[in-house]
């Protein structure tokens, strides 16, 4: 409507304009009304006067007519009683003429006419008196002659005409006045109407404006309330602490975060000096620091809080905080308060510490990895040195056969050491990644322990350590992966041998305790410091002094042992009275129900020495040839090919019961060879084993998909290969 002018101002302007209009309208109506009212009074006076004049004239004429009628009566009858009207007429006419003169004092024109009437009336009265006097004097004939002369009639006619004329004038006057009075009446009515209408309108306008004003004020109040509420909610929901003070530093607002961090409720804090609620000290010196609110109040600038500030809550709780304070200014720029925003940085500090800790751990792990690589290369080189020496001895043409045989046995021991190292490494990797799957079967734990102890016996004897075994007579059935359990015992026994000096003693004790089988591997060796009884199960961890003693191992054996035991639902832990006092490893495995029969046992035995036709395909000639010799020694008929195509040819020709295929082959991969063989009638019944350098889960899955019965990772121990062949042949009757 009026752009640029504020709403309240517009409202005031409209009200003023309304007032002015109403004032003028009412004033005009008042003037018109009053003027016409006085006019009306005048008209009323004039009309009354005209009516009085008319009445007086009427009365005058009547008096003359009555007097004349009386005169006639007297003249005819001579009765004097007829003269009463005549006798009264004189005084009456005088009175009427006086009042007419008074009434018409201000009307000179009529006064002249009245004077004429007065003359004629006096003349008429004179004519009447003359006739009456003549009659009384006895001159009746003269009296009648005067009457007949017509002078009296003439006077009466003149008088009537004159009175009529005045009458007519008065009537005209009255009519004019009546019209004027009616107009004045109308004007008074109009002015009253206009005045009261305007006043009414104004009242309506004021009412409407008041209503509008109320509505606007209500709306404004609601908007302000909403905004205030929104601001309060916003400040309350901010994740940081918010506190405001007035210009004197008294608290005016605190959000919920501030309440929880300071320990004061808003009700308690409002109106109090900020220093008593927001108490801060230096984190390290604990000296009071300058409160940022003080600085803002004094200097009117935005202040970031000093680092390492501690907020002390009502209950004494201390929290590291961080943030800033800023001035609140009004529209004129005057400082009216301070807003302080702060946050609890305990969590951030903790994360910082955690980060530093993780970095430290990462660095330590990195150092451990470097150390591990150094140890690994040392451990790998360890057996390789003697192997190459023994080989040298064997290859010399003049070597004594007995020496050559002894060298070969020693080489085999070193080789096993190497294989065990690599196996452990691969296994720990698989176990850590959760990719190792157990081939669970119900088995007698005694046989696994027995086999492990038997295998270890010769190396214990070599070192001059006594190894004894105690086992219950009853079977101890567990659900376990035979190969993995043997690996666990082999590791524990190997450690016991490594960390026990010559002349020492190692005992393996298997017992049943409730629903568990417990195996104690006890040695009289170097022992373990109490603080490291748990850490030795960590990857790559070794008791520092033990390295010099044992001089081999990667620090992964016990990690593997623990993971494998846990995968079997068991536990393993170490005990030791301390360095030099021997160690004990305790292993507990849950027992299970006895099986109806021990699977595989008989079949393996039945098949173990049944000769088979075996095809070995490997592009590593040495591997293929040596394997061929070993399998031949076991009584099998063996054919060898060095690439995929030749492998297929030989297979078609000899239809072997067992195929041992390398995967990475020239011409055709081992996977393709397997697929082709499986397409043949005879090939579907054959046992096909993958023998590869790759042992990741994905490699095993690929072999499985191509149709292999098993996936073995090189180097595979001779016995493992033979037992795998036997087991698989037993499971495939047609391959026997
Ligand atoms: P390593 O290959 O070093 O033997 P392990 O994981 O098998 O790795 O063992 C970790 C560490 O635990 C060893 O380095 C050694 O310090 C300690 N340890 C293991 N077994 C024994 C034991 N029987 N006696 C003393 N210390 C042992």
Which residue would you say has higher pLDDT here, 521 or 83? 521
Cα separation, 554 vs 552, in Å, equals: 7
Number of neighbouring beta carbons within 10 Å of residue 620: 14
Residue 545 has a pLDDT of 56
φ, ψ dihedrals at 339, nearest 5°: -110, 130
Mean pLDDT of 417-429: 79
CA of 588 to the centre of ligand 1 (A): 19
φ, ψ dihedrals at 189, nearest 5°: -60, -45
Mean pLDDT of 681-706: 89
In this structure, the residue with its CA closest to atom 21 of ligand 1 is: 495
Residue 581 has a pLDDT of 93
Omega within 30 of 0 (cis) for the link into 715: yes
Query: Residue 644: CB partners within 8 Å, gap ≥ 6?
Result: 617, 665, 666, 667, 668, 669, 670, 672, 673
| Strand pairing report for 637-641 and 613-617 | parallel
Burial of 618 by CB count in 10 Å (0-12 exposed, 13-18 middle, 19+ buried)? Answer: buried
Q: Residue 730 has which token pair? A: 């037993």
**Whether pLDDT at 602 is above 50:** no
Residue 604 has a pLDDT of 39
- Confidence class for position 598, pLDDT limits 50, 70, 90: very low
Cα separation, 392 vs 384, in Å, equals: 12
Residue 575 has a pLDDT of 96
CB of residue 536 inside a 6 A radius of ligand 1: yes
Cα separation, 411 vs 406, in Å, equals: 9
In this structure, the residue with its CA closest to atom 11 of ligand 1 is: 542
Cα separation, 194 vs 210, in Å, equals: 23
Which residue would you say has higher pLDDT here, 209 or 541? 209
Cα separation, 255 vs 232, in Å, equals: 8
pLDDT tens by residue, 339-359:
999 988 888 888 988 999 999
**Whether pLDDT at 626 is above 60:** yes
Q: Please give the distance of CA 353 from its chain centroid, rounded to a whole number.
A: 29
CB of 645 within 8 A of CB of 668?
yes
Cα separation, 153 vs 146, in Å, equals: 11
**Whether pLDDT at 736 is above 70:** no
Which of 421, 432, 546, 577 best tests ligand 1's pocket when mutated (most atoms within 8 Å of CB)? 546
CA distances from 493 to 419, 456, 549, 590, 716 (A): 17, 7, 16, 21, 21
Which of 378, 417, 495 best tests ligand 1's pocket when mutated (most atoms within 8 Å of CB)? 495
Which residue would you say has higher pLDDT here, 728 or 235? 728
CA of 578 to the centre of ligand 1 (A): 14
Residue 484 has a pLDDT of 87
CB of residue 557 inside a 6 A radius of ligand 1: yes
Kind and range of the H or E run holding 389: helix 346-395
CB of residue 262 inside a 6 A radius of ligand 1: no
pLDDT tens by residue, 522-537:
999 999 999 999 989 9
CA of 621 to the centre of ligand 1 (A): 38
Residue 155 has a pLDDT of 87
Mean pLDDT of 423-442: 80
Cα separation, 694 vs 100, in Å, equals: 155
CB of residue 583 inside a 6 A radius of ligand 1: yes
| Strand pairing report for 687-692 and 710-713 | parallel
| Strand pairing report for 303-304 and 309-312 | unpaired
Cα separation, 339 vs 690, in Å, equals: 75
Where helices occur in 244-344 by DSSP H, the ranges are: 256-262, 266-269, 292-299
Q: Please give the distance of CA 605 from its chain centroid, rounded to a whole number.
A: 69
Mean pLDDT of 622-651: 89
pLDDT tens by residue, 7-41:
667 777 877 887 787 788 788 878 887 888 888 88
Residue 657 has a pLDDT of 94
Cα separation, 113 vs 119, in Å, equals: 10
φ, ψ dihedrals at 359, nearest 5°: -60, -40
The DSSP code for 2 is -
Q: Residue 721 has which token pair? A: 């290969």
Cα separation, 679 vs 673, in Å, equals: 10
Residue 277 has a pLDDT of 94
Taking the complete model, does pTM exceed 0.75, yes or no? no
**Whether pLDDT at 480 is above 90:** yes
pLDDT tens by residue, 709-720:
999 887 777 778
Q: Residue 545 has which token pair? A: 């002094």
CA distances from 251 to 102, 244, 276, 506, 680 (A): 95, 6, 10, 77, 92
**DSSP letters spanning 163-216:** HHHHHHHHHHHHHHHHHHHHHHHHHHHHHHHHHHHHHHHHHHHHHHHHHHHHHH
- Confidence class for position 1, pLDDT limits 50, 70, 90: very low
Mean pLDDT of 464-483: 90
φ, ψ dihedrals at 120, nearest 5°: -65, -35
Cα separation, 711 vs 702, in Å, equals: 10
Mean pLDDT of 272-298: 91
Cα separation, 3 vs 720, in Å, equals: 99
CA of 543 to the centre of ligand 1 (A): 7
- Confidence class for position 233, pLDDT limits 50, 70, 90: confident
pLDDT tens by residue, 38-56:
888 888 888 888 888 888 8
Which residue would you say has higher pLDDT here, 157 or 14? 157
CA of 544 to the centre of ligand 1 (A): 10
CA of 495 to the centre of ligand 1 (A): 6
pLDDT tens by residue, 288-314:
888 899 999 999 999 886 677 899 999
CB of residue 556 inside a 6 A radius of ligand 1: yes
Question: To the nearest whole number, what is the mean pLDDT of the chain?
Answer: 85
pLDDT tens by residue, 215-226:
888 888 888 888
Residue 605 has a pLDDT of 41
CA of 559 to the centre of ligand 1 (A): 10
Mean pLDDT of 589-596: 85
Percentage of residues in the chain with pLDDT exceeding 70?
94
Residues facing 712 on adjacent strands: 691
């Amino acid at each position: 409507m009026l752009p640029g002018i504020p709403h309240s101002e517009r409202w005031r302007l409209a009200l003023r304009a309304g007032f002015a209009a109403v004032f003028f309208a009412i004033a005009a109506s008042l003037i018109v009304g009053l003027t016409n009212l006085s006019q009306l009074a005048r008209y009323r006076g004039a009309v009354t006067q005209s009516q009085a004049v008319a009445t007086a004239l009427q009365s005058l004429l009547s008096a003359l007519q009555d007097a004349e009628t009386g005169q006639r009566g007297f003249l005819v009858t001579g009765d004097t009683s007829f003269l009463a009207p005549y006798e009264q007429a004189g005084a009456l006419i005088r009175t009427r003429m006086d009042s007419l003169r008074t009434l018409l004092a201000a009307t000179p024109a009529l006064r002249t006419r009245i004077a004429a009437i007065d003359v004629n009336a006096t003349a008429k009265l004179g004519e009447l008196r003359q006739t009456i006097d003549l009659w009384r004097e006895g001159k009746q004939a003269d009296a009648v002659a005067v009457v007949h002369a017509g002078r009296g009639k003439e006077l009466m006619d003149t008088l009537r005409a004159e009175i009529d004329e005045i009458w007519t004038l008065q009537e005209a006057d009255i009519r004019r006045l009546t019209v004027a009075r009616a107009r004045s009446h109308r004007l008074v009515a109009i002015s009253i109407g206009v005045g009261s209408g305007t006043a009414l309108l104004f009242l309506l306008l004021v009412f409407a404006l008041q209503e509008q004003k109320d509505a606007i004020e209500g709306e404004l109040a609601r908007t302000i309330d909403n905004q205030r509420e929104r601001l309060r909610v916003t400040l309350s929901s901010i994740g940081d602490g918010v506190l405001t003070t007035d210009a004197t530093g008294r608290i005016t607002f605190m959000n919920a975060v501030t309440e929880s961090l300071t320990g004061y409720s808003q009700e308690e804090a409002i109106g109090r000096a900020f220093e008593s609620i927001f108490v801060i000290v230096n984190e390290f010196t604990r000296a009071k620091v300058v409160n940022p609110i003080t600085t803002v109040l004094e200097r009117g600038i935005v202040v970031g809080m000093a680092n390492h500030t501690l907020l002390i809550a009502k209950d004494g709780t201390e929290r590291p905080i961080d943030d800033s304070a800023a001035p609140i200014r009004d529209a004129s720029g005057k400082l009216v308060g301070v807003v302080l925003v702060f946050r609890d940085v305990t969590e951030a500090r903790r994360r910082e510490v955690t980060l530093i800790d993780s970095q430290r751990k990462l660095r330590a792990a990195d150092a451990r990895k470097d150390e591990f690589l150094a140890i690994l290369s040392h451990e790998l080189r360890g057996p390789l040195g003697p192997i190459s020496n023994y080989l040298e001895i064997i290859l010399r043409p003049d070597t004594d056969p007995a020496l050559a045989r002894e060298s070969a046995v020693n080489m085999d021991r070193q080789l096993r050491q190497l294989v065990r190292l690599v196996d452990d490494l691969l296994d720990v990797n698989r176990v850590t990644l959760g990719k190792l799957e157990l081939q669970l079967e119900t088995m007698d734990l005694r046989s696994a322990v027995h086999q492990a102890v038997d295998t270890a016996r010769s190396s214990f004897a070599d070192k001059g350590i006594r190894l004894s075994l105690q086992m219950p007579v009853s079977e101890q059935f567990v659900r376990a992966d035979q190969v993995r359990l043997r690996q666990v015992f082999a590791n524990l026994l190997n450690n016991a041998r490594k960390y026990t000096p010559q002349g020492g003693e190692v005992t393996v004790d298997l017992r049943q305790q409730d629903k568990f089988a417990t195996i104690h591997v006890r040695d009289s060796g170097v022992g373990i410091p109490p603080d490291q009884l748990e850490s030795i199960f960590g990857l790559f961890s070794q008791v520092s002094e033990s390295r010099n003693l044992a001089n081999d191992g990667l620090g992964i054996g016990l990690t593997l042992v623990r993971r494998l035991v846990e995968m079997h639902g068991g536990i393993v832990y170490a005990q030791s009275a301390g360095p030099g006092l021997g160690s004990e490893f305790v292993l507990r495995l849950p027992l299970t129900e006895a099986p109806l029969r021990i699977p595989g046992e008989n079949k393996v035995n039945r098949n173990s020495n049944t000769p088979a036709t075996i095809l070995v395909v490997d592009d590593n000639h040495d591997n293929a040839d040596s394997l061929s010799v070993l399998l031949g020694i076991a009584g099998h008929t063996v054919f060898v090919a060095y690439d995929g195509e030749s492998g297929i040819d030989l297979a078609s020709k000899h239809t072997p019961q067992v195929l041992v295929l390398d995967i990475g082959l020239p011409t055709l991969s081992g996977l393709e060879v397997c697929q082709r063989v499986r397409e043949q009638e005879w090939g579907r019944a054959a046992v096909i084993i993958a023998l590869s350098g790759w042992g990741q889960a994905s490699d095993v899955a690929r072999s499985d998909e191509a149709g292999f019965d098993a996936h073995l990772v090189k180097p595979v121990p001779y016995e493992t290969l033979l037992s795998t062949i036997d087991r698989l042949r037993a499971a495939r009757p047609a391959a026997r």
